[in-house]
């Protein structure tokens, strides 16, 4: 789904069930995998690959030619100047991996059971 006021440039491929919110910009020759969420104010430069199920927070930016692995979360306002692996959470300027999703899941599971 591409919301009004979102801009998608030429030769882009948007996967099934992905959401491109208002005010987001996707530049030329970019690939957005299925089930991805691109929030308002996100800027994706040209020739970028965003994997399946990725979540890009409000106002984040992805620099030209970068690849982001599947199921990765990018924090709001982050700038991604380099490739990121799958299943990580990255924040900041420049974006740095702060956690893998497996670590986060283990921490939540542990805290719920009290172990």
Give the CATH number, domain containing residue 53: 2.160.10.10
State pLDDT tens for residues 5-51.
999 999 999 999 999 999 999 999 999 999 999 999 999 999 999 99
Number of domains in the chain: 1
Confidence (pLDDT) at 106 = 46
Residue 54 near residue 33, CB atoms below 8 Å:
yes
Please tell me what DSSP assigns to residue 87: S
The tokens describing 111, both together, are: 């805290």
> Residue 112, Cβ neighbours under 10 Å: how many?
8
Where is pLDDT greater, at 54 or 114?
Answer: 54
Domain range for 52: 7-113
Given a cut of 80, is residue 113 above it in pLDDT? Answer: no
Distance between CA atoms of residues 67 and 82, nearest Å: 8
Assess if residue 2 is contained within a domain.
no
Instruction: Dig out the tokens for 66 from the structure.
Output: 């970068």
pTM of the model: 0.85
Residues with catalytic roles = 28
């Amino acid at each position: 789904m591409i919301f009004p006021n979102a801009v998608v440039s030429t030769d882009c491929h948007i996967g099934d069930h992905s959401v491109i919110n208002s005010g987001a910009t996707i530049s030329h020759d970019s690939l957005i995998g299925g089930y991805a969420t691109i929030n308002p104010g996100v800027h994706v430069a040209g020739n970028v690959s965003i994997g399946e199920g990725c979540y890009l927070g409000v106002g984040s930016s992805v620099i030209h030619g970068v690849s982001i692995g599947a199921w990765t979360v990018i924090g709001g306002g982050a700038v991604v100047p380099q490739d990121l692996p799958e299943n990580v959470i990255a924040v900041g300027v420049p974006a740095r991996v702060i956690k893998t999703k497996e670590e986060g899941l283990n921490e939540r599971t542990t805290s719920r059971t009290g172990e």
